[in-house]
Structure 1
Amino acid sequence: MLSVLANRTYRHLLAAQIIALLGTGLATVALGLLAWQIAGEQAGVVLGTALAIKMLAYVGLAPIASALADQLPRRVMLVSLDLIRAAVALALPFVTEIWHIYGLIFLMQAASAGFTPTFQATIPDVLPDEAEYTRALSLSRLAYDLESLLSPMLAAALLTVVSFPVLFTGTVIGFLASALLVVSVPIPSPQPSPPRSIWTRTTRGIRLYFATPRLRGLLALNLVVAAASSMVIVNTVVLVKGHFALNEPQVAIALAAFGGGSMMAALLLPRVLDHMPDRPPMLAGGALLTIGLWIGPWADSFGLLVVLWALLGFGFSLAQTPTGRLLRRSALPEDRPALFAAQFALSHACWLLTYPLAGQIGARAGFDATFLLLGTLAGGGLLLAARLWRDDGGLAHQAEAATHDHPDLPADHPHLATYGHGPNHRHPVVVDDLHPRT
């Protein structure tokens, strides 16, 4: 897996991702404690609303940012957005009102809505080999999991000597270091695409996404992932501090258990995906998440909660890690940024639904009802994913070869020159201008 680190550009980009994630993880812990300080037992509601605002920024702005990114150098865009996020993190320790949290979260996540899909779409251009890209996806998943594991542990250690607002300083340092690492290497330019209107560029990724059956199934699986992870992200601090009457270090331990479970799955996946299509492990991950939510009401001690969070983390990584492979195989290189932005927006639309549900139902009806409601939502998403995403057959890098023809194209068209004309015209098909459906 580590062989991909021989690529200097990827190595620096991965380091930038890890450092920025570590800083973001410190901010996540600090934000939960800030919400508790301001709102007390209503901290889950505050966090749920703040995260819903984050999702609104992601859903509304990611496709627009993707359309604008076609006109800007990737390095300039990535560095500028890192600096914006650092400036916002610098302001968070001075928050005294709930609405301050909401406003700053929107500004920070508006920058992330442009940064993350652009960053994700850059990696396939840096690592064009499918096997290397698969391992890069697992390393990326491990980076997220290390953040989930190490950030709470680092936060717990720091909280023994400093107050929680100091944790936001780590976020500022993380974003600044990320910007420096991006500057230090050449960033591939996006593949040129035909001239299109801003509206066409903004909506192209969404249209390609819904025209591809496996991606419609992925969207349903995104709902499963969102239901389970929302329970963890929104309600961990309230469960640990309110329900179990424990302290801040135990909040960090519970979050670290989720990250540890996810890390175990990410370490196993590269070997699995070398010999198996993406669909079985991703649906298995969705099943683990659904079952974990359904058994949540019986996690009536802190120790059982830690075990449950580790199980949910394992299922989370199984369902999430291969996503980049599906997106890569489903679009031409010039359409990848738009498709990654569409996945970013649509997956976060699922969190836009589940974050406030997790917070509001937890505050109003209790945690048992929240587990069962989110488990029912996840179960429905899992059944829909299995129905929409039929078994592709073959490995994930093999788009389905389909026999078809293009009677409307002139005989000297480059596409026909490559693959031939007539009833024997056959090649792997992704949705594009010449192939509006698969």
Structure 2
Amino acid sequence: MTNSLTGLLRQRPYRQLWVARTVSQWGDAFNTVALVLLVYSLTGSGLGVSGVVVAEIVPVLALAPVAGALVDRLPRVRVMIAADLLRAALAFALPFVDGSVAAVYAIAVGLSAGAVFFNPAAQSVLPAIVRERELVAANSGLWTAAVISQIVLAPLAGIVVATLGYTWAFWINAASYVLSALVLGRLEVPTVPAPVSARPWYAQARDGVAAITGDRLLRALAGAQFLAALSAGATGALLVVLAREHLRLGAEDYGLLLGAIGVGAATGPLFLSRLTDDPRRARYVLGPFVLRAAVDAILATVTGLVSAMAALVAYGLATSTGAVTFNSLLQAETPERVRGRVFAGFDVLWQTGRLLSLLLGGLLADLVGIRAVYYLGAILLLAAAAAGSAGLRATEFNRPDPPTP
């Protein structure tokens, strides 16, 4: 059994998936920075920039049921390649319409739509190319590469935009998708999805919902996911408000807070893969919810840059390790034939909760203050841990590892 990232990277299928997703993340780092700067230059308003976030969320809510059914019906690697090529074409076209706000938003929606198909396919492929006991290390490697790419390349993207303009940033993103598609073209997945009947997509989507609601653990994890999203949407977006109104920090200090989160997020999975290779350990799945709740409460209570940065390092660590263990458990528990639909369903839950949190969190901050948002966020995260714990306690985990792929 190989349960280290170094060992996994020696395995060709995982190495190909890791390279494809990491290269794609490089391009995403450039696109994220350039797109926000472009929209702000065109609209001159924070509301305009918020529209980019909405453009990312709406396709998930609209297309995830279709995407999940498609991912379970077609070869998943081909779905990923098609999504990459679509996004490459859209990213390449962006510089030609960068004078129109409507066109930029439309392409942002298209890029997000591509991700709606790519992400559940990628999540579904991973359990087919690694063992169950390798899932934690495999997800840790993917997560760490993504976070480090964002930390390192986001400043570089700003420099590229400032010196060379938006065109090169968007074309770097397009090239990353093409390279990802080329790498995925050589990926051979040992197992294939079970045959799916040619029923309408909405009937197949209902099967995905039934798979979640009919399984006690998946149902509990879905509840935990939604509660966590209700917390994270507002607390993440309103960190700048907390920094200015409660912590009394300047703009330059806000950058340090984001850096602290990045440090924790990058290092968390590396420590996690040394602590456990079991995706079914409750303390590692639910502990991050409790730690994040503690951080939210601390941030709403303390003042001062150093204490806030220390808390946010812990927040980044909890966020990253929680994402890795949660996804690993979900991959281990979800039947092969419905993985695409289940992951698409969890995406819908996350984005729905995030959207509601953004709307209600801003209103709550205006009515009773930003500290209340963070205290409520802590309560929601504790509720998420409790919901997940109920499902874990009710499920027997003394199962043997599945056969080697």
Unmatched tracts of structure 2, length 5 or more: none
Letter paired with 1:341: A
Secondary structure of the 2:392 match is coil
Q: Secondary structure at the match of 1:389?
A: helix
- Letter of the 1:10 counterpart: Y
Distance change in 2, residues 1:387/1:118 (3 Å):
closer
Match of 2:60 in 1: 58
- Of 153, 178, 181, the match for 2:183: 181
Aligned pair partner of 1:212 in 190, 215, 231: 215
The answer to whether 1:168 aligns with 2:140 is: no
Which of the residues 102, 116, 121 maps onto 2:119? 116
Tell me the CA shift for residue 297 of structure 1: 4.9
C-alpha deviation, 1:54, in angstroms = 1.9
TM-score, length of structure 2 as denominator length: 0.82
Distance 2:363 2:99 in 1: 26
Match of 1:125 among 125, 128, 132: 128
In 2: Cα distance, 1:279 partner to 1:205 partner:
24
Identify which of 28, 33, 47 aligns with 1:29: 33
Change (3 A) 1:76 1:371: farther
Aligned residue pairs: how many?
393
Cα shift readout 1:211-244 (whole Å, capped 9, x = no counterpart): 2233333233324543565357645688899996
Structure 1 gaps, min length 5: 402-426, 429-438
Q: Determine if contact 1:209/1:339 at 8 Å carries over to the other structure.
A: yes
Rate the CA distance shift 1:153–1:268 in 2: closer, same or farther, 3 A: same
Aligned-residue offset at 1:321:
0.9
Q: Distance in 1 between matches of 2:224 and 2:235?
A: 17
Greater share of helix residues, 1 or 2? 2
Aligned match for 1:6, one of 6, 10, 18: 10
1:170-227 CA distance string (max 9 Å, x none): 3222211111111123244533235262233222222211222333332333245435
TM-superposed CA distance for 1:118, in Å, is 0.6
Give me the whole-angstrom Cα distance separating, in 2, the residues matched to 1:118 and 1:150: 27
Tell me how far apart the structure 2 counterparts of residues 232 and 373 of structure 1 sit (CA, whole Å): 7
Alignment partner of 1:190 out of 187, 192, 198: 192
2:137 aligned residue: 135
Structure 1 residue 386: deviation in Å?
0.7
Tell me how far 1:377 sits from its aligned partner: 4.0
Cα distance in 1 for partners of 2:48, 2:374 equals: 19
Change over 3 Å in CA distance of 1:251–1:184 after alignment to 2: farther
Look up the SS of the partner of 2:369 in the other structure: helix
Q: Which residue is 1:432 aligned to?
A: none
Aligned residue in 1 for 2:205: 202
In structure 1, C-alpha distance between the alignment counterparts of 2:276 and 2:257, rounded to whole Å: 29
Bigger Rg, structure 1 or 2: 1
The aligned amino acid for 2:380 is G
Aligned to 2:382: 382
Alpha-carbon distance in 2 for matches of 1:186, 1:20: 19
Equivalents in 2 of 1:234, 1:166: separation in Å? 28
DSSP 3-state at the match of 2:179: helix
CA-to-aligned-CA distance 1:138-166 (integer Å, 9 cap, x gap) = 11221232233223243355456444564
Query: In structure 2, do the counterparts of structure 1 residues 325 and 388 end up closer, same or farther at CA, with 3 Å as the change threshold?
Result: closer
Aligned equivalents of 1:347, 1:231: Cα separation in 2:
13
Range that drifts further, 58-67 or 326-335: 326-335
CA contact (8 A) 1:30 1:167 kept: yes
RMSD: 3.6
Alpha-carbon distance between aligned partners in 1 of 2:55 and 2:280, rounded to the nearest angstrom: 35
Q: CA deviation digits over 1:101-126, x for unaligned, max 9? A: 43222211111111110111011111
- Matches of 1:97 and 1:370, distance apart in 2: 35
With normalisation by structure 1, the TM-score equals 0.76
Kindly report which structure 2 residues correspond to 1:223-372, keeping only aligned pairs within 5 A, or say none: 223=226, 225-227=228-230, 229-231=232-234, 234=237, 246=251, 254-274=257-277, 277-297=280-300, 306-357=309-360, 360-361=362-363, 365=366, 369-370=369-370, 372=372
**Residue pairs, 1:146-165, within 5 angstroms:** 146-158=148-160, 161-163=163-165
Q: 1:227 and 1:186, CA in 2 relative to 1: closer, same or farther beyond 3 A?
A: same
Q: What do residues 32-73 of structure 1 show as CA deviations (whole Å, max 9, x unaligned)?
A: 323433444x42x33444323322211331221121234433
Looking at structure 2, the residues matched to 329 and 3 of structure 1 have their Cα atoms a distance apart, in angstroms, of: 20
- The amino acid that maps onto 1:7 is Q
- State the Cα deviation string for residues 268-312 of structure 1 (Å, max 9, x = none): 212333478432233221123233333445676766665454332
Residue 33 to residue 226, structure 1, CA distance change in 2 (3 Å): farther
What secondary structure is seen at the aligned counterpart in 2 of 1:193? coil
- Distance (Å, rounded) in 1 between the aligned partners of 2:102 and 2:243: 25
How has the CA–CA distance of structure 1 residues 328 and 246 changed in structure 2, closer, same or farther, with 3 Å as cutoff? closer
